[in-house]
């Protein structure tokens, strides 16, 4: 029997922690305050930002979505982000991606003050992740931090484990490899040019997939001992429009020790990490 590694129990536990930390900040006269910059009306972004706002309000923080016109001029956009990021009453701030085409060349992480960069995209925070000092109060990237928290929540130590990450994106694969290395895992990052991918995944104690290919990871990628932990970061739609991950969940769920479902696995943890970063930013500001 494998364990279905849902995120709901972890989120429920952490909301209670966030409430306590938020109350304690309020007692010191600080209400954690997040600003979300949303350019245009991308459907998925509208839903994501609304969910982020609702989540912050659940534990007592303030969160405002600032809607900017799809055709906003680059100068005006840059000034707006800087103005919001510089406000003293704002503790956390981010630009929801993707941006409209004419703004896509902008490195949004660089526009926001590093101590308010709740996405963990600023070079300073990437540097802190790279250095891996456990005492650092740098803000860590959200989805990767959520993956680490979920694995640990289900009682799995990363130290000494062989982890194979499939995908080398700037938002998930690369930063996750550093977070796990900082936890003393032995990390292999595989990607579209990796030869003999199955040989890597079969040898892993933990496999993380973040490539965006519906159900590509089948039983052929797994070891026969059924002891592996499988973490699916993919959020895809199959040919019938059904939501699914990168892993062939139904056919592999009994061939491993633990597996994250899609939906209900890694997905909700990005928002949880964002909220944890907001509180850390507010606490750092004291």
Binding site for ligand GUN (CB under 6 A): 94-97, 119, 142, 270
* Residue nearest to ligand GUN as judged by C-beta position: 97
CA–CA dist 158, 150 (Å, integer): 11
Q: 96 or 209, CB closer to ligand GUN?
A: 96
Q: 177 or 270, CB closer to ligand GUN?
A: 270
Q: What are phi and psi of 262, to 5 degrees?
A: -135, 120
Catalytic annotation, residues: 52, 96, 119
- CB count within 10 Å of CB 129 equals 23
CA 222 to each of CA 115, 200, 247: distance values in angstroms, whole numbers, following the listed order: 41, 9, 11
Q: In 179-218, which ranges are E strands?
A: 186-190, 206-209
Torsion sign across C-alpha atoms 82, 101, 119, 169: negative
Q: How far is the CB of 257 from ligand GUN (least distance, A)?
A: 28
Contacting residues for 259 by C-beta, under 8 A, at least 6 apart: 2, 3, 4, 5, 229, 230, 231, 232, 247, 249, 252, 253
CA–CA dist 142, 135 (Å, integer): 18
* Count of residues making up the chain: 286
Q: How far is the CB of 8 from ligand GUN (least distance, A)?
A: 20
């Amino acid at each position: 029997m494998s364990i279905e590694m849902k995120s709901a129990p972890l989120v429920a536990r952490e909301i209670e922690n966030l409430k306590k930390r938020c109350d304690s900040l309020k007692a010191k006269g600080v209400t954690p305050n997040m600003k979300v910059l949303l350019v245009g009306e991308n459907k998925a972004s509208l839903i994501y930002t609304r969910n982020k706002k609702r989540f912050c309000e659940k534990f007592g923080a303030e969160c405002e979505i600032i809607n900017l016109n799809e055709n906003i001029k680059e100068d005006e956009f840059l000034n707006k982000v800087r103005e919001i990021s510089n406000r003293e009453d704002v503790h956390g701030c981010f630009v929801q991606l993707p941006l409209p085409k004419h703004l896509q060349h902008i490195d949004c992480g660089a526009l926001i003050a590093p101590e308010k960069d709740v996405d963990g995209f600023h070079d300073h925070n990437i540097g802190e992740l790279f250095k891996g000092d456990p005492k650092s109060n740098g803000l860590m990237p959200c989805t990767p931090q959520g993956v680490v928290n979920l694995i640990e929540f289900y009682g799995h130590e990363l130290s000494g484990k062989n982890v194979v990450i499939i995908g080398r994106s700037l938002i998930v694969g690369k930063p996750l490899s550093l977070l796990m290395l900082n936890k003393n895992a032995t990390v292999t990052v595989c990607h579209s040019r990796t030869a003999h991918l199955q040989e890597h995944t079969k040898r892993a104690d933990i496999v993380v997939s973040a490539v965006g290919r519906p159900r590509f990871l089948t039983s052929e990628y797994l070891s026969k001992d059924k002891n592996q932990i499988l973490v699916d970061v993919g959020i895809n739609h199959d040919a019938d429009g059904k939501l699914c991950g990168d892993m062939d969940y139904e056919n592999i769920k009994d061939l491993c020790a633990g597996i994250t479902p899609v939906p209900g696995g890694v997905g909700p943890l990005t928002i949880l990490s964002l909220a944890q970063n907001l509180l850390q930013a507010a606490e750092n500001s004291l």
